[in-house]
Chain A
Amino acid sequence: MSLGLEKRGYGIKIMKNKIYELLKIGKRIDEREPLQYRKIEISTGVVEKANGSALVSLGKTKILTGIKVEVGTPYPDRPNEGVFTVNAELLPLASKTFEPGPPDERAIELSRIVDRVIRESKAIEVEKLCIVEGQKVYMIFIDCYVLDYDGNYFDASVLSAVAALKTMTLPVYRVVDGRIEAVPGEEMKLPMRTLPVSVTMALIRDKIVVDPLPAEEDVADTVVTIGYDSEGVLSAVQKSSPGLLPVNMFKEMVKIGLDSSAMLRRRLLEGVGDG
């Protein structure tokens, strides 16, 4: 069962009216409070072949992230820093509105948001991922796959990527006769500075809701995602839909997002067995 209808280019009047009507008394169509997230489940280490992995469900939205580590050459301007990249794919079995083929603008926007939330919060201590300065560094490939889509893949993907990073292991390398080799039986955790999370909010008339459903996004004036680090500092913002965002509403979102980010980080820590 789901609320609303998939794939359309028009608003459904009765849903719009119902969402407005319920929000006036502080309710949503799926019984949640405006500032309440759906149920979050996190399981890590689900793909043994990956150096790290996490399956996260947020309500019916489900994201699988896997991380692979390779050794490569650093960028010339950052000779002693490791490298990481984020990629996201909207698998066609996740929604009737996703199509097979190269990533479309939605998939690219998703990967870039996950990347920014992690990169700009300096969550990964890239300077500790250097093996031989200027020559060999760790390269970390973070790949997020949307397996089931029922709204808000931004926050679910960030949770999944960070849970995989937090629980991953890397091989340890040493230099022998000018060549590097893995030290057998030795592994290390990824050095992390902070645990970034993102909070996605929809503005519906003059009300703000977190973790919107697709039916809510359809009637929303606009949708905003904000990334926060453990200190509550913002690391990324994306207004990911057209529409007017009054300045005072955005300021309100920054505050609401901060509260939600603390809750999400607690759930994340519980999920990775660190709570």
Chain B
Amino acid sequence: MKIRLINENGLRVDGRRPDEMRRMRMEVGVLEKTDGSAYVELGGTRIYAGVIGPREVHPKHLELPDKGVINCRYHMASFSVDERKPLGMTRREIELSKVIREALETVVFLEEFPRMMIDIFVEVIQADGGTRTAGITAASLALADAGIPMADMIAAIAVGKVDGVLVLDINEEEDKYGEADMPVAIAPHLNSIVLLQLNGRMTPEEVDKGLEMAQKAVQKIHQMQIEALKRKYRVEPEGLET
């Protein structure tokens, strides 16, 4: 029996239209002991991101004389998925840590921190599709909250193909039974891609259209990021007395 992912009205398993995102919620400054932190919810996906640094490099031999280094750990709680995830890092988590780090590295002005390192921790508390993209969105907020100089923020979303239809922000079921999953992270002001993966079959035309959908959604997510940052710092224009 094949699971139908798009019904006769063109709606998806959770009732969304193909170009509709799930509810997203962001909060900045949620952890006490990091230099910057954020919490992001996207549908059932829940993520904490924390940034520590810039600090001295450990172990010492990894330090670079002319620029800083970024470490990134994407990690899922054992209970975040349907089948309990064994402890320790899986191959998937190690790969995602690398691509997330590379996405963020692209915008951080590393040359301002020679011989220093910045740690980025992405903790998935619950996974319901889109954890790497929500994780990057959260990590970018945490970096801004930590006061790390960057050329731009990063916002991310996944597009996918289910029952032959291109859909925005695929959930876990669509990821599992659909034909393709394409996570995209974009630096909105630079209008450039900083992370792109494709898992599944898509025609060149579909990739084009999918990117357009992602670009549109990224603008929306970026706007939410700005609002979340401003909420933390409760701006009152006349309030600055320095």
Q: Does B31 count as interface, using CB distance less than 8 angstroms?
A: yes
Q: Mark A135-156, 1 if CB is under 8 A from B, else 0.
A: 0000001010101111000000
| Residues B87 and A68 in contact, CB atoms below 8 Å apart | no
Q: Does A34 count as interface, using CB distance less than 8 angstroms?
A: no
Query: Which B residues are within 8 Å of any A CB, using their own CB?
Result: 31-34, 37, 44, 46, 48-50, 52, 55, 73, 75, 77-82, 84, 87-88, 119, 121, 123, 125-128
Bound Cα distance A141, B84 (Å): 9
CB distance from B173 to the nearest CB of A (A): 13
At the interface with chain B, which of A16-24, A89-97, A249-257? Answer: A89-97
CB distance from B114 to the nearest CB of A (A): 21
Bound Cα distance A150, B32 (Å): 9
Query: Which A residues are within 8 Å of any B CB, using their own CB?
Result: 2, 6, 46-50, 53, 60, 62, 64, 66-68, 70, 87, 89, 91-96, 100, 102, 141, 143, 145, 147-150
Bound Cα distance A95, B80 (Å): 22
Please provide the 8 A-B residue pairs with the shortest distance between their CB atoms, ordered closest to farther: A66-B79, A93-B50, A50-B79, A68-B84, A93-B121, A143-B78, A60-B32, A148-B32
| Residues A47 and B37 in contact, CB atoms below 8 Å apart | no
The residues of A that contact B75 with a CB separation of less than 8 Å are: 91, 100
Q: Nearest residue in A to B51 (C-beta to C-beta)?
A: A93
CB distance from B88 to the nearest CB of A (A): 7
Bound Cα distance A70, B52 (Å): 36
CB contact between B33 and one of A49, A87, A148 (< 8 Å): that residue: A148
| Residues A48 and B44 in contact, CB atoms below 8 Å apart | yes
CB distance from B138 to the nearest CB of A (A): 11
| Residues A91 and B121 in contact, CB atoms below 8 Å apart | yes
| Residues B78 and A87 in contact, CB atoms below 8 Å apart | yes
- With contacts A6-B33, A49-B126, A102-B88 taken as known, whether A93 is within 8 angstroms of B79 at the C-beta atoms is no
| Residues B46 and A47 in contact, CB atoms below 8 Å apart | yes
The residues of B that contact A64 with a CB separation of less than 8 Å are: 77, 125
CB contact between B48 and one of A2, A93, A100, A102 (< 8 Å): that residue: A93
Bound Cα distance A2, B33 (Å): 9
Bound Cα distance A143, B88 (Å): 13
Bound Cα distance A100, B94 (Å): 13
| Residues B78 and A66 in contact, CB atoms below 8 Å apart | yes
CB distance from B100 to the nearest CB of A (A): 14
Bound Cα distance A46, B48 (Å): 14
